[in-house]
A and B are shown apart, each in its own frame.
Chain A
Amino acid sequence: AQKITQTQPGMFVQEKEAVTLDCTYDTSDPSYGLFWYKQPSSGEMIFLIYQGSYDQQNATEGRYSLNFQKARKSANLVISASQLGDSAMYFCAMREATTGNQFYFGTGTSLTVIP
């Protein structure tokens, strides 16, 4: 079974609007972390935001926030006030306490911001 599922291959958003990128995960480990990365066309993966399984509050980093719904095993990324520079691939990832250095990535969502 896939550990990370991103069901939106491509998304479009109007500049200055908010957009939600979906991510669901599968784990039986009570201790895990969820990550979102951005990959522009240049190729480099850029870390955006982290959410721990025991964190009580949803993570926020500037215009990025994570809508963490533990019971539903979802960790959606919300980007507010979209900018043209937000156009990129976005990857959700997870690591579990029991599997050490193993990072599990989704297939990604391609976001295009329309002026």
Chain B
Amino acid sequence: ETGVTQTPRHLVMGMTNKKSLKCEQHLGHNAMYWYKQSAKKPLELMFVYNFKEQTENNSVPSRFSPECPNSSHLFLHLHTLQPEDSALYLCASSQELAGGPKKETQYFGPGTRLLVL
């Protein structure tokens, strides 16, 4: 496996279900991200982890719970979601360097298409 992988690729769940999205990066990066992509809206950054520590939480509802057990794996635990949470959830990683201009790009996984019924 190379790059950034995400499973599952598609997920349909009811509002009372609990599910988890998984992301794995094989690039040796030290930062990982969760984004939500809805139609006709900019990508919304949800969570950022640097060296397994959460550094950003952009006012995400508590029904989304991230977990980063190590620098290669990132999970997004879902429970009691709403239909408006239906979207494409993208995981990304980057190698962040200390100091200097931020020029490191992010590498994205293929995403999980989530439908909440």
Binding site for B on A (CB under 8 A): 2, 4, 31-33, 35, 37, 42-47, 50, 52-54, 91, 93, 95-97, 100-108
B50 contacts the other chain (Cβ, under 8 Å)? yes
Contact A106 B42 (CB under 8 A): yes
CB within 8 A of A101: which of B56, B100, B111? Answer: B56
Contact A42 B55 (CB under 8 A): no
CB proximity of B22 to chain A, nearest CB, Å = 16
19 pairs across A/B with beta carbons < 8 Å? Answer: A4-B42, A32-B101, A33-B102, A33-B103, A35-B105, A43-B88, A43-B111, A44-B109, A45-B90, A45-B106, A47-B107, A52-B103, A54-B101, A93-B43, A100-B55, A100-B56, A101-B94, A102-B45, A108-B42
Contact A101 B33 (CB under 8 A): yes
Given A31-B101, A52-B101, are A103 and B45 also a contact pair (CB < 8 Å)?
yes
**16 further A-B pairs in the complex, CB-CB below 8 A; given A95-B102, A103-B33:** A2-B42, A32-B102, A35-B105, A44-B108, A45-B90, A45-B108, A46-B108, A52-B103, A91-B43, A96-B102, A101-B50, A103-B45, A104-B42, A105-B42, A105-B43, A107-B40
Complex interface bits, B42-72 against A, C-beta within 8 A gives 1, otherwise 0: 1101001010000110000000000000000
Q: Which residues of A contact B107 (CB under 8 A)?
A: 47
Bound Cα distance from A104 to B40, whole angstroms:
15
Bound Cα distance from A71 to B53, whole angstroms:
37
Bound Cα distance from A33 to B45, whole angstroms:
17
CB proximity of A23 to chain B, nearest CB, Å = 12
Q: Which residues of A contact B33 (CB under 8 A)?
A: 101, 103
Contact B110 A42 (CB under 8 A): yes
B31 contacts the other chain (Cβ, under 8 Å)? yes
Contact A107 B42 (CB under 8 A): yes
Chain A residue with the shortest CB-CB distance to B43: A105
